[in-house]
Structure 1
Amino acid sequence: MKTALFALFENWENDYQKAITDQIDLVCYAENLGFDEAWITEHHFNNFSVIPSPLTLVNYLLGKTKNIKIGTAGILLPYYNPIKLAEEIATIKAFDDNRFLYGIAKGAFAIYDKTFHTNALTNREVMFEANELIHKLLLEEQVNFKGKFFSCEDISIRPKIKDNFTTFLASESLEAIEKCAKDDFGLIGSLALSKEKMKEIFTNFQNFSPNKKLSFRVARGINIGFDKKEIEEETKKSADIFINSMRLSKQTNPTLAKLLTSEYIDIRNTIFDKNRILENSIYGTQKECIEQIKALKNEFDIEAILLKPLTTSTKRAKEVLNLYIKEVKPYV
């Protein structure tokens, strides 16, 4: 099982520059520890998770690091022009040495759809169609495309890339699982994804494609230490701040009452539920964390675990990542 960092670029000290530079430093620290991957999220209008432009960070981190793979978890495709995005990805792929991991998502906030003039009811469909067009533009010389949402004639983007690459879906929907089975996409599960839901994912994937193996990654909160009570308190505090920041980006919008469809409410009650995140996090003493990860590995075929330190400072996050590599990973 590969080890990855799940990077939300958290603004603990109400200092945007420090939030970004600290997280860049944490990615570099993870590489030095031997982490295989780092995944960057995308959030808009958020005072706490402050990266609305993940590809900017991907570009910088690929130049800043040498070995670790850098992924997006994920690019919110409904809010982009796919032709322009294909050009940006082509530029990255021209120098990335196959270290860029391309992850996409449909978006989950009412304020996003209000601002970018998109529709929650069609965002998943838009995401899949945009992704199809992006791959055609990247891999084919002359592209003609006419879909429900996008079209182009005789487009040939530059630079050209030589090899196909995997799409990772940051989703847990049945449609996403079916797409993974059909097109060999990878799947990324959220911090709140329960074991029961994971079982459903693997069962549904096998039903769609009995002879294939799902490339599955899952995000998990993590906190490791020597004093169990202190670790529990810090973990709960960190989870509280994270959840409140995610909910505020919904609740502070004046048009919230009109925008909150049942789909938005369902997302809020699952992904952004503190109890679900805590229930599915890895935290405690080294021994306890070893047991929790062993149980996860024994039950599921996980390609990589994306670790989000549930701490309240970069210093503590580094301590947790260091403890994981030295005191936990060798025993799992």
Structure 2
Amino acid sequence: MSGYALFANFENPFGDSTRALHESVETVLHAERLGFDEVWLTEHHFNAFSVSASIFALLAHLAARTERIRLGAGTVLLPFHDPLRVAEDVATVDALSGGRLLLGIGKGGPFPDQFRHFGVSHDESRARMFEGLDLLEKIFAETNVDHHGTHYRYDDLSVFPRPPRRPPIWLASLADDSLALAAQRGYGLMGPSAAPVARIKALLDAFRALRPERSPPYVLARYFLCDPEHGKARATALPFIRDFGANMRRAIQRIPAAQPVQPFHQPATAYDDAALLDNAIVGDPAACVDQCLALREQLGPCVLLLKPAAYEPEANRRALTLFAEQVRPHLPA
């Protein structure tokens, strides 16, 4: 692996949004104390369980509460935002954090309420994402921007504060056109927790064929739970993973689109319990070491993005501690 990161979804199993926000912030602070390199936050809307709708407000708060850990927006659902406002938020959070912001971009998951309430068609979301990316590139690079596109039009546009650099950008997509754009522009790629290793390997091989002189910066998400007792780790993680899979399968069936939807190009069977658990880092420390080494052997260096898979925050923090103390020392630096 080339780094280790926490995937913070700001989850609310308690039915108390205030507690959920504070518990998630404490887990991020705990990960920084343990030496994790990065934390990535998801953007979810209209979801009582994942209360991370205002992703840049959360990142700004974490910028003030942390000192070292890099802060990833993973991902900004660009079709639902005005790219102008995204550019302003990116520049502000990056300045406040001392240049620690990492920018992930996605088109939106298989959640019909997001598309319905934001007034965006699922079938046009990819085109909106690509045009929004084009506009962000212009805004980050220059002032007095003119842009006359299909979805956005601006004349003589300058954004302040000026970003001191174009922030590193990752695409949360496994589609061929996203892969080609990442290779052309030097973007990183993000792999979802449900994607099997063979699919990720094919993606990385295709990237290297397009740009053989470099490997892509790659962030791979995996559900994670470590416990001294192997069976207990799996028993603790399974309800969380099972609920995620069931929610994804229901969402896939509900989304209105001209063509059948396969989120992250994965069939609905990728969200079955057994498939998700097979792709997870779950078990006692020795098992977690073996699972991480197997990923490294198959995929090469990447940032491993650990998504804690317990409903109890303290259980997740204990699992992260075990990873830092008994798993990471046995993995490649």
Q: TM-score range by the shorter chain?
A: over 0.9
CA–CA distance in 2 between the matches of 1:303 and 1:84?
30
DSSP-derived class of the 1:262 partner: coil
Partner of 2:134: 132
Q: 1:160 Cα deviation (Å)?
A: 1.0
Partner of 1:269: 268
User: Does the 8 A contact of 1:4 with 1:304 survive in 2?
Assistant: yes
Deviations 1:203-243 (A, max 9, x none): 21122112221111100111111222222111111212333
CA–CA distance in 2 between the matches of 1:10 and 1:248?
19
Partner of 2:317: 318
User: Does the 8 A contact of 1:192 with 1:270 survive in 2?
Assistant: no
Give identity over the alignment, percent.
30
CA–CA distance in 2 between the matches of 1:179 and 1:273?
31
Unaligned 5+ segments in structure 2 are none
Aligned CA distance change for structure 1 residues 284 and 180 (closer, same or farther; 3 Å) = same
CA–CA distance in 2 between the matches of 1:48 and 1:248?
15
Q: 1:128 Cα deviation (Å)?
A: 1.4
CA–CA distance in 2 between the matches of 1:77 and 1:297?
31
CA–CA distance in 1 between the matches of 2:23 and 2:270?
25
Partner of 1:303: 302
DSSP-derived class of the 2:143 partner: coil
Q: 1:270 Cα deviation (Å)?
A: 6.0
Unaligned 5+ segments in structure 1 are none
Q: 1:311 Cα deviation (Å)?
A: 1.3
DSSP-derived class of the 1:223 partner: strand
Q: 1:261 Cα deviation (Å)?
A: 4.6
Q: Which amino acid aligns with 1:329?
A: R
CA–CA distance in 2 between the matches of 1:203 and 1:210?
9
Aligned CA distance change for structure 1 residues 86 and 47 (closer, same or farther; 3 Å) = same
CA–CA distance in 2 between the matches of 1:198 and 1:208?
16
User: Does the 8 A contact of 1:31 with 1:65 survive in 2?
Assistant: yes
User: Does the 8 A contact of 1:78 with 1:118 survive in 2?
Assistant: yes
Aligned CA distance change for structure 1 residues 191 and 309 (closer, same or farther; 3 Å) = same
Partner of 1:71: 72
Q: Which amino acid aligns with 1:279?
A: D
Q: Which amino acid aligns with 1:167?
A: I
CA–CA distance in 2 between the matches of 1:199 and 1:324?
25
Q: 1:90 Cα deviation (Å)?
A: 1.8
Aligned CA distance change for structure 1 residues 271 and 74 (closer, same or farther; 3 Å) = farther
Partner of 1:163: 165
Q: How does 1:26-105 map to 2 (within 5 A)?
A: 26-105=27-106
Partner of 2:192: 190
DSSP-derived class of the 1:70 partner: strand
Size of the aligned set, in residue pairs, is 328
CA–CA distance in 1 between the matches of 2:27 and 2:146?
43
Deviates more, 1:319-328 or 1:107-116: 107-116
Deviates more, 1:40-49 or 1:89-98: 89-98
CA–CA distance in 1 between the matches of 2:237 and 2:314?
15
Aligned match of 1:149 in 137, 146, 151? 151
CA–CA distance in 2 between the matches of 1:88 and 1:291?
40
CA–CA distance in 2 between the matches of 1:47 and 1:302?
35
CA–CA distance in 2 between the matches of 1:28 and 1:165?
23
Answering whether residue 5 of structure 2 is matched by residue 7 of structure 1, we say: no
CA–CA distance in 1 between the matches of 2:270 and 2:18?
27
Deviations 1:32-65 (A, max 9, x none): 0001100000111112112111111000001110
User: Does the 8 A contact of 1:38 with 1:71 survive in 2?
Assistant: yes
Answering whether residue 228 of structure 2 is matched by residue 218 of structure 1, we say: no
CA–CA distance in 1 between the matches of 2:258 and 2:235?
32
Aligned CA distance change for structure 1 residues 19 and 262 (closer, same or farther; 3 Å) = same
Aligned match of 1:205 in 175, 187, 207? 207
Aligned CA distance change for structure 1 residues 271 and 55 (closer, same or farther; 3 Å) = farther
Q: 1:248 Cα deviation (Å)?
A: 6.0
Q: How does 1:17-32 map to 2 (within 5 A)?
A: 17-32=18-33
CA–CA distance in 2 between the matches of 1:139 and 1:77?
19
The CA RMSD measured in Å over matched residues stands at 1.9
Q: Which amino acid aligns with 1:155?
A: L
